[in-house]
Amino acid sequence: MGIRLLHTSDWHLGCPLRHVTGDAGALVRERRLEVVRAIAQLAQKREVDAVLVAGDVFDGQHVDSALLLRTLEALAAYSGPWILLPGNHDAALAESVWTRLARLEPPSNVHLALTAEPIPIGNERAFVLPAPLKSRRTQDDRTAWMDLAPTPPGAVRIGLAHGLIEGLQAQVEEATNPIAADRVQRAQLDYLALGDRHGFLKVDARTWYSGTPEPDHYRYRDAGFVLLVELDGPGAVPRIEPIPTGWYHWVERALELPPLSPPELEARIAAVSSELPAPGERVILKLALRGSVDLAGRRAVDAALARLAAAVRHLALEDGLRLQPGAAELAGLDDGSIVGACARAIDERRRSAASEDERAVAELALRLLWQAVAELGQAEEPRA
C-alpha cells in the first residue's frame, strides 16, 4: 500500500504585499489564507496521508495572533496530519511564531516539526525526516542528519527541508540554508520535499520544490501549484502531479507608445486589457509605459489607464511616458495673450531641464496649463 502526500511550501501567511496598495492589497492578502483552505479541502478530497508544508508557512515571526488562529481554522478542513516545517522566514528561534502557535494548543493532527526527529505517517508506513531551520540564515546543511536518521525497515523515508539545493543557483556566491544535491542518495530518501523557491521545480525524480500555492510576485512563472506525491513503497519512484491552486495572475507588460493619435493610443492600452490571461479581477498588472505623447495624447492615455485600472484587480504603473507637446498644441495655447508666451516659456524649460524632476515639473505645469485653458474654454463655450 503506497503513500499519498500533498507537498506545498512558502505560504507566507501575513505577507504584507506592500506593492499592492489599497483594497486590492487586502483582497490579495486574504487570498493567501483562502488557498490554505483550498489545500485542506484538496487533501481531504484526495485522501492523502499527510500534507507536508516545506517551510515559510508564515512570512515573519511577529504576525498577528489572529492570523495564527485563522490559520488553524483554515487547516481544520483536513483532518489528516499537517507537518509544518519552519523555514527561513519563520525559523524555529528560541521564541518564534511556532512557540506562539504552540501556546495556542493546535489540534493533534497539526505537527510542528521544530526538531530534527522522524515523524511517522500512514500508520508508520512512512517517516518524514524534517530539517527545521533554527535561524534565519545558516551555512550548515540542516538535512545532514537525515543520512543517519533511523527508520524501521520497509518504511518510506521522506525528507522535508527548506533551502537551496547546492548548484541550483550558481550565481549565488554563498547560498544560505544549503542542501546537498545528493541528499536523496546519501540519506536513502524516497522523496525530498523542498521549499524556498516560489515556482515549482523538479530537481530530480525524487527531489521537488512545490513552489508557493498562491503567486505573490510577477517574476515567478510556475507559482500557484501544490504537488500531489504518490509513492508505491520504499525505493519506488514517486509520481508527481502539480495541481493548480493559484487565483491571482501576476502579469507584467511593457508598452512602447509611438506618436499616435489619442484614439489610437487609447486602443493600444485597451488592447492590454483584452490580452490578459485571466479575467481582470484575477489580474495584478504591472504596466511599464515608454515613449512620448503630446498633450492630447497624454490626456487620452490617462483616460485609458483609468479604464484599465478599473478593469484589473490592481494596476502598478511605471509611467515613463515623456510629454512632447505638438507645435499645433502650443500654437493653440498662444491666443495672442500671455498664456501662449507662458506655455512657450515652460515648454522651453521642459526641453532644457537639467534633471528628471525639473523636467517632470515642467511637463506637469504644461499639462495643468493646457488642461486649465481647455476647461476654461469649455466653460466659455456655452455662453458663446
Residue among 47, 380, 382, 384 that touches another protein (CB under 8 A)? 380
Contact (Cβ atoms closer than 8 angstroms) between residue 200 and residue 209: yes
Residue 313 contacts residue 292 (beta carbons within 8 Å): no
Cα angle value 294/253/217 (rounded, 5°): 135
Give the span between the Cα atoms of 116 and 359, in whole angstroms: 59
Least gap, CB of 25 to another protein (angstroms): 7
- Amino acid found at 198: H
The residue to which cell 515567478 is assigned: 220
The helix (run of H) or strand (run of E) holding residue 67 is: helix 65-75
Examine residue 360 and tell whether it contacts another protein (CB under 8 A): yes
Q: Are strands 156-162 and 3-8 parallel, antiparallel or unpaired?
A: unpaired
CB nearer another protein, residue 331 or residue 368: 368
Binding-site member from 95, 173, 174, 381 for another protein (CB under 8 A): 95
Closest residue by Cα to residue 270 from 248, 255, 282, 284: 255
Near another protein by CB under 8 A: residue from 6, 32, 56, 61: 61
Selected binder of another protein within 8, 9, 88, 96 (CB under 8 A): 96
Using rule CB under 8 A, residue 378 touches another protein: no
Size, binding site for another protein by CB under 8 A: 48
Of 171, 337, 355, 378, which one interacts with another protein (CB under 8 A)?
Answer: 337
Cα 171 to Cα 167, 218, 368: the distances in Å are: 9, 21, 48
Does position 182 interact with another protein (CB under 8 A)? The reply is: no
7 vs 89 by CB, closer to another protein: 89
Q: In the complex, which residues of this chain contact another protein (CB under 8 A)?
A: 14, 16, 18-19, 21-22, 25, 59-67, 93-96, 100, 134-135, 335-339, 341-342, 345-346, 349, 357, 360-362, 364-365, 367-369, 372-373, 376-377, 379-380
